[in-house]
Amino acid sequence: MTVHFPFQNSYSALPDSFFARVAPTPVAAPRLIKLNRPLAVQLGLDPDLLETPEGAEILAGKTVPAGADPIAMAYAGHQFGHFVPQLGDGRAILLGEVIDRDGIRRDIQLKGSGPTPFSRRGDGRAALGPVLREYIVSEAMFALGIPTTRSLAAVVTGEHVIRETALPGAVLTRVASSHIRVGTFQFFAVRRDTEAIRRLADHVITRHYPELLTAERPYHALLAGVVARQADLVARWLLVGFIHGVMNTDNTSISGETIDYGPCAFMDAYNPAQVFSSIDEMGRYAYANQPRIALWNLTRLAECLLPLFSDDQEKAIAEAQDILGAFAETFTAAYQAGLRKKLGLFTERDGDEALIQDLLDAMAKNQADFTLTFRRLGDAAGDEAGVAHVRAQFMDPSAFDDWAKRWCERTALEPQTAAERQAAMHAVNPLFIPRNHRVEAVIQAAVNNDDYGPFEEMVKVLAKPYQDQPDYAAYADPPLPDQRVLQTFCGT
């Protein structure tokens, strides 16, 4: 049987200036590493057929399936604050769109599938390590309940790519609500193509914000919608200790999904100034800077939309500023509500924010592990014996003791039982995250030994981040001093 993708191609029906038509470059000997079978079923695809050699050829870009209309999307972007008027998909090709079982339109894109007109002298390929990292982290984010692009498959190509050295080549099949970014709007704004901006905005509203089709001021409402989704998204990142690492405007999705897992990482010890990305030398995208940068990126989107707001620029700017002003309130509400849940607080009371901040300050001062502190606090909520495990996260355990008395007094004001509080806390405080040292070990096993056993096991564990998994308890452990990963790399 032939592998069938029920493709639709709404984006490639837009004007030619939105993309370049380009086919994937065939590879020598594609071999499927991993197929995300549940996601394949959700997309209406046949996982058994995708696991055949024919399926591997499609997922590697060697064969273009019937109904696909392969394109590389055009976009611009601010990279570390510096504007680049033309970026675009330099190593990714959108095959088409499918309607999933929930009626949601999803892009299917090959990443690492060869050069495009936007490659800027690059080879358009991907090395195995970054492909595995994106598969692991994006699927972990999905399991954590955070809006994200997803990974359908990873394939090795049978070819090498040259970076600092020769590395195994690979292709990731990425699935997204769409790949439209703030930078997509910037591409047309810098060219003063207001009609293209309008076409793009109309497309985004129809696809991602259909409730706005009848709005009195749909473009204002679009900006407000993107602001709300990004504010909520970044709050969710902070609540699990996630650092994107490269929050350029071309990596900021209009749909509100996490996109482009390059030098991303999860914190071990809590540190608001934590940076892992080797290219973020000034700490622009540090953990605690992410809300501010998200608003900066959204301001760039607002600038693009000004011509759609009003012919009177001063009026348009004032209206945009008013909409952007909602970001701080939306983010703070989502973040504080999430932190209260992490502490097992069911109601909102005066003093809660100070209680939360004092814990975070003590964690930072004592290098407490972010993930385990909150998880073990949940253990302690249901069993006093668990207090020792929380104390163990702090260099000076007395710093926790002083705070814990206040926490116990605060939780005593609520009627929930200890078991109810513990269950609620465990539902929002993961035990398992993609620890950087674990991800690196997985990559090394695959790259050096062609061993995907560690990859398979890690993906399995991270699919259930909130559940105790005694057989895999070691995956919850922070790194030993000699295991710490101090830098992550973009992988391009």
Integer Cα distance of 455 and 416 in angstroms = 40
Per the structure block, which two tokens stand in for 2? 């032939």
* Amino acid 297: pLDDT: 98
Assess contact for 84 and 37: CB atoms under 8 A: no
Angle at 225 between CA 142 and CA 109, to 5 degrees: 45
Indicate if 268 belongs to the active site: no
* Amino acid 104: pLDDT: 96
Assess contact for 410 and 352: CB atoms under 8 A: yes
Which of 216, 169, 222, 163 is CA-nearest to residue 197?
222
Q: Residue 237 belongs to what H/E stretch?
A: helix 218-239
Task: Tell me which of 89, 250, 268, 379 is the catalytic residue.
Answer: 250
Helix (H, G, I), strand (E, B) or coil at 357: helix
Q: What is the CA radius of gyration of the chain?
A: 23
Which of 131, 97, 98, 96 is CA-nearest to residue 112?
131
Mean predicted lDDT score pLDDT of the chain: 96
Start-to-end Cα distance in the chain: 36
> For 13, which DSSP code?
G
Structure confidence by residue, pLDDT tens digits, 331-370: 999 999 999 999 999 999 999 999 999 999 999 999 999 9
Residue by residue, DSSP assigns 404-469 as HHHHHHHHTTS---HHHHHHHHHTTS-S----HHHHHHHHHHHHHH---HHHHHHHHHHTSTTS--
Per the structure block, which two tokens stand in for 18? 């939105």
Structure confidence by residue, pLDDT tens digits, 295-321: 999 999 999 999 999 999 999 999 999
Structure confidence by residue, pLDDT tens digits, 119-169: 988 899 999 999 999 999 999 999 999 999 999 999 999 999 998 899 999
Given CA atoms 393, 396, 397, 399 in this order, what sign does their dihedral have?
negative
Whether the per-residue pLDDT at 61 is higher than 80: the answer is yes
Mean pLDDT of 236-248: 97
Band (415; pLDDT cuts 50, 70, 90): very high
Whether the per-residue pLDDT at 1 is higher than 90: the answer is no
* Amino acid 491: pLDDT: 64
Q: Residue 239 belongs to what H/E stretch?
A: helix 218-239
Integer Cα distance of 283 and 276 in angstroms = 9
